[in-house]
Amino acid sequence: MAAPPHPASGPRPARELTCRLDVGGVPVGGGAPVAVQSMLSLPTADTEGCLAAISELAAAGCEIIRVAVPDAASLPSFEAICASSCLPVVADIHFDHRLAIEACRRGAAKLRINPGTIGSMAKVDAVIEECGSRGIPVRIGVNAGSLHADYVDRTDLTLPESLAASAEAFVAHFHERGFDQLVLSAKAHSVRATVAAYRLLAARLPNVPLHLGVTEAGTLMQGTVKSALGIGTLLLEGIGDTFRVSLTAPPQDEVSVAWQVLAAAGLRRRGPELVSCPTCGRCQVDLERIASEVEQRLHAVSEPLTVAVMGCAVNGPGEARGADVGVACGRGKGVVFSGGKILYTVDEAMIADALLDEIERRTPSDGANVSVVS
């Protein structure tokens, strides 16, 4: 799926300049659609539970899944997960380079390591050799709490500068050994620091695909706000090839928020977008109830439509004329419209039914899940 066009006279987005990698059949970088990732929260030893969760996340729109490999005992389950997963599986490795090597041998589509926690660079080199021989990409993940040893105590650098410099040093080490199948991340819990670090990396390492994220972002509400602000800012600047919304919440919420961020950034859409106005003293219906009911029922719709629920004539067909289907409410009723054209009027109690009826008339009968560039 092609990236959205950019003005012929304007600069190319940074994501178009990065190298294209293949992660288990999912393209990352080089202008490929920004890929949505998540991570399993179940113990890796629970093979059946992990596979069921992966299937659910795939149905929700996840495209790459990360799985922790905390110890050697988890390797057989990890291998079974890789063999049966419907999504490419990334092995998340810390501390023990031998786990990274074994994960490669057991089916990982990609590794995520932080060289700063692996130990000596000789151990990192062993991982590089294994991944290079098997054509497995590696994400170098640098976090504020695990910088390159040369930058841990540097007081002359800001946190974004330390993150970027650490990442650059690790990338240089990989490149010196002839390995360039890299994805890079440099995260902090601070949105400002994270955004600044990624801007530096996009400028200094323009060929390396970037995995975006705000680490330790928090629970559903706080984490959504911080992730949307940080990731969304970078996506709008053309930076970022793939990302995970990291939440202290079920992985399905991470995927849902990720797709909403992509849609809001105008990059990709999956399923309907609901446009609803804030309530005010002019509203003469229970708009919050109507909008919530419509939102809930839209979960069963796969087409990338825009659906508008407007509380009064001020925000009616005029302002929402671009909606595929919408309603503008009056006293106990709603005027259903499409593309700015009024269709008919229904009672307040029938508004949600009317909108869903109109959507059904406009969508294919096969119910295929559609993901498109908006």
Considering the domain architecture, whether residues 45 and 84 belong to the same structural domain is answered as yes
Would strands 325-330 and 306-310 be described as parallel, antiparallel, or unpaired? parallel
Q: Is residue 168 part of a domain?
A: yes
Considering the domain architecture, whether residues 331 and 197 belong to the same structural domain is answered as no
Considering the domain architecture, whether residues 328 and 196 belong to the same structural domain is answered as no
Q: Is residue 317 part of a domain?
A: yes
CATH of residue 187's domain is 3.20.20.20
Considering the domain architecture, whether residues 122 and 63 belong to the same structural domain is answered as yes
pLDDT of 338 reads 85
Domain ranges, residue 103: 14-268
| Cα(295)–Cα(26) distance, integer angstroms | 30
DSSP string, 108-142: -SEEEE-HHHH-SHHHHHHHHHHHHHHT--EEEEE
Q: Is residue 7 part of a domain?
A: no
pLDDT of 7 reads 43
- Domain finish residue from 222, 253, 268: 268
Per the structure, the count of domains in the chain is 2
What's the N-to-C CA distance of the chain in angstroms?
A: 11
pLDDT of 339 reads 78
pLDDT of 317 reads 62
pLDDT of 13 reads 87
Structure tokens that stand for 15 in this block = 């994501």
218: burial class by Cβ within 10 Å (0-12, 13-18, 19+)? Answer: middle
Q: Is residue 236 part of a domain?
A: yes
Residue 167 and residue 140 in contact, taking contact as beta carbons nearer than 8 Å? yes
In the chain, which residues have pLDDT < 50? 1-9, 365-374
pLDDT single digits (tens) 63-78? 999 999 999 999 999 9
How many residues in the chain?
A: 374
Q: Is residue 9 part of a domain?
A: no
pLDDT of 314 reads 63
| Cα(143)–Cα(255) distance, integer angstroms | 22
- Domain finish residue from 245, 268, 291: 268
Considering the domain architecture, whether residues 44 and 63 belong to the same structural domain is answered as yes
Q: Is residue 1 part of a domain?
A: no
Instruction: Tell me the one-letter amino acid at 205.
Output: L
Considering the domain architecture, whether residues 296 and 310 belong to the same structural domain is answered as yes
Considering the domain architecture, whether residues 210 and 117 belong to the same structural domain is answered as yes
CATH of residue 330's domain is 3.30.413.10
The greatest distance separating any two alpha carbons of the chain, rounded to the nearest whole angstrom, comes to 73
Considering the domain architecture, whether residues 196 and 315 belong to the same structural domain is answered as no
pLDDT of 232 reads 97
Considering the domain architecture, whether residues 168 and 235 belong to the same structural domain is answered as yes
pLDDT of 19 reads 96
CA geometry: angle 206, 211, 213, nearest 5 deg = 125
3-state secondary structure of 220: helix
pLDDT of 147 reads 74
Would the pTM count as exceeding 0.85? yes
| Cα(215)–Cα(217) distance, integer angstroms | 5
pLDDT single digits (tens) 295-335? 888 888 878 888 888 877 666 666 677 788 988 888 888 88
Q: Is residue 351 part of a domain?
A: yes
Considering the domain architecture, whether residues 204 and 278 belong to the same structural domain is answered as no
Q: Is residue 6 part of a domain?
A: no
- Domain finish residue from 211, 241, 268: 268
Considering the domain architecture, whether residues 86 and 147 belong to the same structural domain is answered as yes
DSSP string, 174-232: HHHTT---EEEEEE-S-HHHHHHHHHHHHHH-TTS-BEE--TT--BHHHHHHHHHHHHH
Strand partners, 23: 26
| Cα(64)–Cα(35) distance, integer angstroms | 7
Considering the domain architecture, whether residues 297 and 217 belong to the same structural domain is answered as no
| Cα(37)–Cα(216) distance, integer angstroms | 16
